[in-house]
Amino acid sequence: MPAPNAAPSKASRASTDDLARTCSQVRRDIIRMVHAVQSGHPGGSLGCTEFMVALYFKVLRHDPAHWSMDGAGQDLFFLSNGHISPVWYSVLARSGYFPVQELATFRRLDSRLQGHPTTHEGLPGVRMASGSLGQGLSVAIGAAMAKRLNGDPHLVYSLHGDGELQEGQVWEAAMSAAAHKVDNLIATVDWNGRQIDGDVDQVMPLGDLPAKWRAFGWDVLEMNGNDLADVLRGLDEARSRTGHGRPVAILMRTEMGQGVDFMTGSHHWHGVAPNDEQAARALAQLPETLGDY
Amino acid sequence: MNPFPKLDEKDTRSGFGAGLLEAGQRDPNVVALCADLTGSLKMDAFAKAFPDRFVQVGVAEANMMGIAAGLTIGGKVPFTGTFANFSTGRVYDQIRQSIAYAGKNVKICASHAGLTLGEDGATHQILEDIGLMRMLPGMSVVVPADFNQTRQATLAIAVHEGPVYLRFGRPKWPVFIPADMPFEIGKAQVLVRGTDVSIFACGHLVWRALQAAEALQAEGIRAEVINVHTIKPLDVAAVLDSVERTGCAVTCEEHNRHGGLGDAIAQVLACHRPTPQEYVAVNDLFGESGTPDQLLRKYGLDTPDIVAAVQRALTRK
């Protein structure tokens, strides 16, 4: 679908190699932000880096220089699992929504980069507060309905944690999106199998997740969220399935902590900041490709 | 003599339904959402007139609040409709994060508030909703007095920028506010001028306050009756102006004595002009099944209760 209003950004011509370099820098940003204030959520942020970079630097039809709350004539993105704010702030800054230097204010007093994202401080790129889990899908549905009412052909994207799917509101929302044929919506689940207290399968198993989303009336596809090529393929495929009467869900397999060897594959780094030595070890694995903030 | 004679008898929720339809006719961005209570909320006329702008969400109030918040991002003015209990307590965190903290222009419209819901009993008779809503930063709280005023309030909140909680009720109730009486959010109305006591009331109890003032007049007590239809932002100037002249206050509300109109006014008085105040409110209890009149009597919200509260207040001057 062409973008009638949003100007194509430079980023949309990015090659897969460019995106990979951006991923390395974004991961550095995540580690440095969380390390600097000794708080925040590195695990899910690292795991969703390829997805967020592909989305903001290749897939979204958006115009960071002309940010507006209503996002008319642009694709919209909502982060429902707001605790992975480090990765979102990094891609927002690096794609031009606000100065990269502002990443240094993450979680500090008087910052627009609150621990969890908010509209309250007027940070460009953020259209909803999130952090209390389970609310973002409803919001994305509302925004998609407004686009339809306004005759705006652009899409709404959202991202959700898998642990978050334990919130009942998510399934209220899933039911209603299918009932109202909200087919301009692509909801992605970060299917990393981890949550704060341990593995999702131990804390509260989700069962057959693809079958659940299908049973709720969604068009479901899967992708490997830590393989850039597969993320681009999956997002392309998801877009091609919009406009056919059903909302689209992407179940995205990722590893929590991906990109830093000692953080990968454990729930431990969900919400723990690395100490000085750990941060140095992590950064040594992540080339500085675009310049640290 | 009550200067506001009873004009008719209608439910305030029908005033909401009439106002919503009119708001929809005036502004194409007005949309409405309902959680399986379209008939009870009198939203059917809107749904019929604007089927594309009406969203049935089923019995899923949390989702309704989130969808409403999302709709504002595309410039829509969403009105959510369900019972007061399910409009507040059930969805407090959704309202807090996705509407109030996010500063979204959602109109939360709540029917069947208070004891006068009647026979359904305490599960549905929320008496804590005004308190819950007025604690949220940026949230306006409007509790109109009758059918005409609920219609006016619905139209007023449609053009007001920011989240609003609009509280109304189920039973047929006296209509006494003239349809053309000016209504402004945040501007209390002095319905009866008096010099001995200030009776501040909201919602259904405004009519009871007028009746009490009439009864007090027979005893030679001149009560001022003020309709505080907006509890937040509270008309502080009107409150202080009145007690400056009367020297004591009685607050009347179909709500728990904790957190509602009485506390809002007590806070103003404590901070600006310490004044004796008596509460006519539910005394930290849940309600029960019964007719509206029986319940108002049993829980101490009836006209004689207001008269008695005035007499107590007068002795404390």
Domains and CATH numbers, chain A: 15-284 (3.40.50.970)
Please report the pLDDT score of residue A3 as a whole number.
Answer: 41
On whether residue B295 sits in a domain, the answer given is yes
User: What tens digit of pLDDT does each residue of B175-220 get?
Assistant: 999 999 999 999 999 999 999 999 999 999 999 999 999 999 999 9
Chain A residues whose CB is inside 8 A of the B71 CB are 142-143, 145-146
User: What tens digit of pLDDT does each residue of B35-93 get?
Assistant: 999 999 999 999 999 999 999 999 999 999 999 999 999 999 999 999 999 999 999 99
Which of A12, A15, A78, A91 lies closest to A46 in space, CA to CA?
A: A91
Report whether A155 contacts A242 (CB < 8 A). Answer: yes
The shortest C-alpha distance from B81 to chain A (Å) reads 16
B89 with B148, same domain: the answer is: yes
Q: What is the average pLDDT value for chain B, to the nearest integer?
A: 98
Chain A residues whose CB is inside 8 A of the B30 CB are none
Both structure tokens of B35: 């959680």
- Answer whether B66 sits within 8 Å of A139, measured CB to CB: yes
On whether residue B288 sits in a domain, the answer given is yes
Tens digit of pLDDT at every position of chain A (293 positions): 334 445 445 556 789 999 999 999 999 999 999 999 999 999 999 999 999 999 999 999 999 999 999 999 999 999 999 999 999 999 999 999 999 999 999 999 999 999 999 999 999 999 999 999 999 999 999 999 999 999 999 999 999 999 999 999 999 999 999 999 999 999 999 999 999 999 999 999 999 999 999 999 999 999 999 999 999 999 999 999 999 999 999 999 999 999 999 999 889 999 999 999 999 999 999 999 999 99
Chain A residues whose CB is inside 8 A of the B75 CB are 70, 72, 146, 150
The shortest C-alpha distance from A130 to chain B (Å) reads 7
- Answer whether A118 sits within 8 Å of B69, measured CB to CB: no
Cis status of the peptide bond prior to A247, with omega within 30 of 0: no
Instruction: Tell me if residue B214 is catalytic.
Output: no
With CA atoms as reference, the chain A residue closest to B68 would be A142
B67 with B139, same domain: the answer is: yes
**CB contact, 8 Å: A142 with chain B?**
yes
- Answer whether B69 sits within 8 Å of A132, measured CB to CB: no
- Answer whether A146 sits within 8 Å of B73, measured CB to CB: yes
Which of A159, A166, A211, A158 lies closest to A182 in space, CA to CA?
A: A158
Report whether A162 contacts A141 (CB < 8 A). Answer: no
Chain A residues whose CB is inside 8 A of the B66 CB are 135-139, 141-142, 169, 173
Q: Which residues partner with A169 through β-bridges?
A: none
**CB contact, 8 Å: B75 with chain A?**
yes
Q: Which one of B22, B61, B119, B214 is the catalytic residue?
A: B61
Q: Where are the alpha helices (DSSP H) in chain A?
A: 16-37, 42-47, 49-54, 85-94, 136-149, 168-179, 200-203, 209-215, 228-241, 276-284
Which of A78, A120, A85 lies closest to B136 in space, CA to CA?
A: A120
- Answer whether A130 sits within 8 Å of B97, measured CB to CB: yes
Listed residues B123, B149, B175: the one ending a domain: B175
Listed residues B150, B175, B200: the one ending a domain: B175
B12 with B76, same domain: the answer is: yes
**Which among A128, A131, A146 has the least Cβ separation from residue B74?**
A146
The shortest C-alpha distance from B57 to chain A (Å) reads 6
B29 with B126, same domain: the answer is: yes
User: What tens digit of pLDDT does each residue of B123-142 get?
Assistant: 999 999 999 999 999 999 99
B100-119 residues touching A, CB cutoff 8 A: 101-103
- Answer whether A70 sits within 8 Å of B74, measured CB to CB: yes
Q: What is the mean pLDDT of residues B20-47?
A: 98
**CB contact, 8 Å: A118 with chain B?**
yes
Q: Using only C-alpha atoms, what is the Rg of chain A?
A: 18
Q: Using only C-alpha atoms, what is the Rg of chain B?
A: 19
The CATH number linked to B63 is 3.40.50.970
Which of B134, B131, B78 lies closest to B107 in space, CA to CA?
A: B78
Please report the pLDDT score of residue A1 as a whole number.
Answer: 37
**Which among A71, A129, A175 has the least Cβ separation from residue B73?**
A71
The CATH number linked to B231 is 3.40.50.920
**Which among A120, A150, A173 has the least Cβ separation from residue B101?**
A120
Which of A186, A184, A187, A176 lies closest to A244 in space, CA to CA?
A: A184
Which of B290, B295, B210, B201 lies closest to B252 in space, CA to CA?
A: B201
On whether residue B45 sits in a domain, the answer given is yes
Residue A59 zone, left/alpha/beta (φ > 0; ψ -120 to 50; rest): alpha
For A65, counting Cβ atoms within 10 Å of its Cβ (0-12 exposed, 13-18 middle, 19+ buried), the class is exposed
**CB contact, 8 Å: B49 with chain A?**
no
B45 with B161, same domain: the answer is: yes
Please tell me the distance from the alpha carbon of residue B87 to that of residue B109, in angstroms, as a whole number: 7
On whether residue B181 sits in a domain, the answer given is no
B18 with B156, same domain: the answer is: yes
Please report the pLDDT score of residue A14 as a whole number.
Answer: 81
- Answer whether A145 sits within 8 Å of B101, measured CB to CB: no
DSSP A142-197: HHHHHHHHTT----EEEEEESGGGGSHHHHHHHHHHHHTT--SEEEEEEE--EETT
Report whether B55 contacts B33 (CB < 8 A). Answer: yes
Going by DSSP bridges, is the β-strand pair A76-79/A156-161 parallel, antiparallel, or unpaired? parallel
**CB contact, 8 Å: B31 with chain A?**
yes
Classify B210 as helix, strand or coil: helix
pLDDT at B221 over 70: yes
B49 with B134, same domain: the answer is: yes
Report whether B67 contacts A176 (CB < 8 A). Answer: yes
The shortest C-alpha distance from B127 to chain A (Å) reads 25
CB contacts < 8 Å between A and B, how many? 120
How many residues in chain B? 317
Please report the pLDDT score of residue A205 as a whole number.
Answer: 98
Chain CA centroid to CA A86, Å: 10
Task: State what percent of residues in chain B have pLDDT above 70.
Answer: 100
DSSP B86-128: HHTGGGHHHIIIIIIITT---EEEEES-SGGG-TT-TTT--SS
Contacts 24+ apart (CB under 8 A), A24-27: A24/A259, A24/A286, A24/A287, A24/A288, A24/A289, A25/A90, A25/A94, A25/A286, A25/A288, A25/A289, A25/A290, A25/A291, A25/A292, A26/A52, A26/A53, A26/A87, A26/A90, A26/A91, A26/A94, A27/A259, A27/A260, A27/A286
Listed residues B175, B201, B236: the one ending a domain: B175
- Answer whether A176 sits within 8 Å of B31, measured CB to CB: no
Which of B49, B46, B44, B68 lies closest to B57 in space, CA to CA?
A: B68
**CB contact, 8 Å: B32 with chain A?**
no
Quote ipTM for the complex. 0.96
**Which among B55, B66, B73 has the least Cβ separation from residue A69?**
B73
Report whether A149 contacts B76 (CB < 8 A). Answer: yes
Q: What is the DSSP letter of A254?
A: -
B294 with B240, same domain: the answer is: yes
B163 with B106, same domain: the answer is: yes
Please report the pLDDT score of residue A265 as a whole number.
Answer: 84
Residue B160 to residues A82, A125, A205, B25: CA-CA distances in angstroms? 29, 25, 45, 16
On whether residue B69 sits in a domain, the answer given is yes
Read off φ and ψ for residue A84, nearest 5 degrees: -90, 35
Mutate to test the interface with B, among A114, A137, A138, A148 (most CBs of B within 10 A): A138
On whether residue B71 sits in a domain, the answer given is yes
B170 with B193, same domain: the answer is: no
Q: What residues make up the domain containing B33?
A: 8-175
**CB contact, 8 Å: B161 with chain A?**
no
On whether residue B79 sits in a domain, the answer given is yes
Chain CA centroid to CA A290, Å: 21
**Which among A118, A127, A169 has the least Cβ separation from residue B62?**
A169
On whether residue B111 sits in a domain, the answer given is yes
B65 with B166, same domain: the answer is: yes
Mutate to test the interface with B, among A126, A130, A135 (most CBs of B within 10 A): A135
The shortest C-alpha distance from A139 to chain B (Å) reads 4
B135 with B222, same domain: the answer is: no
**Which among A69, A129, A143 has the least Cβ separation from residue B70?**
A143
Number of domains in chain B: 2
Count of Cβ atoms closer than 10 Å to residue A13 Cβ: 10
